[in-house]
Amino acid sequence: MATRAAQKRLTREYMTISQNPPPYITAHPSESNILEWHYIITGPENTPYHGGQYWGTLIFPPNYPFAPPAIRMHTPSGRFQPSSRLCLSISDFHPKSFNPAWEVSTILIGLLSFMTSEEMTTGSVSATETERKYHAARSRWWNSTGGGSHVNRSSGQQKNNVKAGDGGAKFKSEWAEVHEENIKWMEENKIDMSTGSRADTGGPSCGPQLGIASASSHQAHAVVDAVIQQRDAGQGWLFNNKLVLAGCLVFIYVLIARLLGEGGM
């Protein structure tokens, strides 16, 4: 249970972050517990996370702001282990380094900054840019369906993972409007809610965002055919004009020989 000081501080911070949210960040406390905050980070431009919807939690101690929160990101990102506590200077791994002047917005800005770097810590993972783009493209589907576990909510459950296996129930309860937007987006883009793939093609939902490597076989063949046609076109020109080229080479050879002969005289 939050102390009176923590209750007052977090209430004020909620008003502040609601009125002036930092770029790419939105957050609010749970209605049932002011010490449990939920945030969404939208992947910034010019990063592998662009357009991704990353949901996580901050669990504050009762004596906040004299101790830092536990920080987790539940949405798979290719940067952090889903729902694992993150070891950061602003998290509960380092209570002695926490500054009571830091606010929720400070903590989340620090998290976003760390996310877009390549530093490693407890709870972080290594992944390629393509893998991170893949997760970004599937993040809306993952948040609102529990990674497809809405089909069978008993599947895929993991300890301390509020997301896995819950069918998106927790996300929906905290982000009802965002959840509705996600469902509408999936319907418009024909996303199979069980797999996260495009229902009309059967391919990954992130195909168009990942370029030719994830294109359909027909698209790949079309690109290859175009390259072959350009290559053949180049070979055809050389073949059709080989006599002219040979004549030019002979003329140049004779001209050089004559100039050298005159120089020798």
For 232, left (φ over 0), alpha (ψ -120 to 50), or beta? alpha
Q: Which residues of 1-31 are buried (b: 16+ CB within 10 A; e: fewer)?
A: ebeeebeebbeebbeebeeeeeebbbbebee
Q: Do 237 and 164 share a structural domain?
A: no
Q: Do 243 and 185 share a structural domain?
A: no
Q: Do 112 and 232 share a structural domain?
A: no
Q: Do 230 and 202 share a structural domain?
A: no
Q: Do 154 and 256 share a structural domain?
A: no
pTM: 0.73
Q: Do 155 and 186 share a structural domain?
A: yes
- What is the number of other CB atoms lying within 10 angstroms of the CB of residue 65? 20
**Which H or E run includes 72?**
strand 70-73
Q: Do 226 and 187 share a structural domain?
A: no
d(CA 13, CA 67): 16
Would you name the residues annotated as active-site residues?
87
CATH of the domain at 164: 3.10.110.10
Q: Do 148 and 57 share a structural domain?
A: yes
What tens-digit pLDDT sequence spans the chain (265 residues)?
899 999 999 999 999 999 999 999 999 999 999 999 999 999 999 999 999 999 999 999 999 999 999 999 999 999 999 999 999 999 999 999 999 999 999 999 999 999 999 999 999 999 999 999 999 999 999 999 999 887 655 444 444 455 556 889 999 999 999 999 999 999 999 999 999 998 765 554 443 333 323 333 333 333 333 333 433 444 444 445 555 556 666 667 666 666 666 555 5
Which domain does 254 fall in, by range?
A: 219-264
